Amino acid sequence: VIVEITAAATHTLRRAVLRNGDPDADVVFDGDDAEGSVHLGVVSDGWLVAVASWIAHDDGSVQLRGMATDPSMQGRGIGTELVTSGTDRFAGRAVWADARDSAIAFYEQLGWVVEGDGFVTPATGLPHHRIRWRGMPAP
């Protein structure tokens, strides 16, 4: 079941999955509370098992951030459901993300396209590429 959640409700999974459980990591992302930003979660047996945030930018584009599925629930199609619900919801907008290289194959099979050179994000120290949902240019 995909539900709309608060930004704060994403924090536990963001920390566990995207920041290696680091208790000191900052899991508040720019734009979390911007008007038009939406946070979606998947609830299974009463537990929040995946989260994804869709950050609204002033240029009208929407950035997917904080995509995380609980490790015990990965590989069951939950991430696919969550990403697809967002791209359906924001159809017609420019939808993009800065994706970890380790997850790019996941996005590519859903129709996302890699743009430009790779870079390392300070918060993770991991290589990333900008990707966009097909059809609309990333900003």
Ligand X SMILES: CC(C)(COP(=O)(O)OP(=O)(O)OC[C@H]1O[C@@H](n2cnc3c(N)ncnc32)[C@H](O)[C@@H]1OP(=O)(O)O)[C@@H](O)C(=O)NCCC(=O)NCCS
The residues that touch ligand X, with contacts defined as CB under 6 A, are 17-18, 50, 67-69, 74-80, 99-100, 102-103, 105-106, 109
Distance of closest approach, residue 79 Cβ to ligand X, in angstroms: 2
Residue count of the chain: 139
Q: Is residue 41 within 8 Å of residue 3, measured between CB atoms?
A: yes
Nearest to 63 by CA among 34, 105, 24: 34
Residue 76 has phi, psi (to 5 degrees) of: -110, 10
57 vs 76, which CB is nearer to ligand X? Answer: 76
Distance of closest approach, residue 126 Cβ to ligand X, in angstroms: 9
Distance of closest approach, residue 121 Cβ to ligand X, in angstroms: 10
Which residue's Cβ lies closest to ligand X?
79
49 vs 94, which CB is nearer to ligand X? Answer: 49
CA 89 – CA 100 distance, rounded (Å) = 23
35 vs 82, which CB is nearer to ligand X? Answer: 82
Distance of closest approach, residue 67 Cβ to ligand X, in angstroms: 4
Exposure string over 11-21, b if 16+ CB within 10 A, otherwise e: bebbbebbbee
